Amino acid sequence: MDVQQAAEDFRRRSLSNMGPLDRLIYLASMRDYNTGLYYHDGLASRFSAEVACEALSDCHREAFRELLGCSLEELVAQMEAYMASTHTSPADFLTAWRGLEPYRVAVPVESDPLAAQFLFSSFKIALAILESHLNPRPAELSA
């Protein structure tokens, strides 16, 4: 019950204005790479560290599921919005994302391999589409 309350509290205070991609990345950033545990001081002080960890884990899984349900077009739109929100140049952003593939460490630990594989694959296609928007080929320009 506490976990549900904590998750609801966190959704209301921190996640309400974010799309699934922003939430996925934001929540993944709260996870310790070495332990897989989630930390958030504010939430832990209102509930407890364990409850906060469970609640954040629930929110992370939820964001992952929502992102899986998005069409490719929606994913591209979300990536475009995320890219704009980082204030990085689109070219640098795309180079970094293609090289580092940061989305690979953004999925919840216990995700099914097929779902994770599907999402990684969609990110790869979305990046190619974004790149084509950035550097339209002559044929596309004339079209």
Instruction: Please report, as ranges, the residues that interact with other proteins according to CB under 8 A.
Output: 68-69, 71-73, 112-115, 117-118, 121-122, 124-125, 128-129, 132, 137, 139-140, 143
Which of 27, 75 has the CB closer to other proteins? 75
Shortest separation between residue 136's beta carbon and other proteins, angstroms:
9
Which of 13, 124 has the CB closer to other proteins? 124
In this structure, are residues 31 and 38 in contact, taking their beta carbons and an 8 Å threshold?
Answer: yes
Shortest separation between residue 89's beta carbon and other proteins, angstroms:
22
Phi then psi for 135, rounded to 5 degrees? -120, 75
**Token pair belonging to 26:** 């934001």
Which of 40, 60 has the CB closer to other proteins? 60
Helix (H, G, I), strand (E, B) or coil at 31: strand
Q: How far apart are CA 64 and CA 61, in angstroms?
A: 5
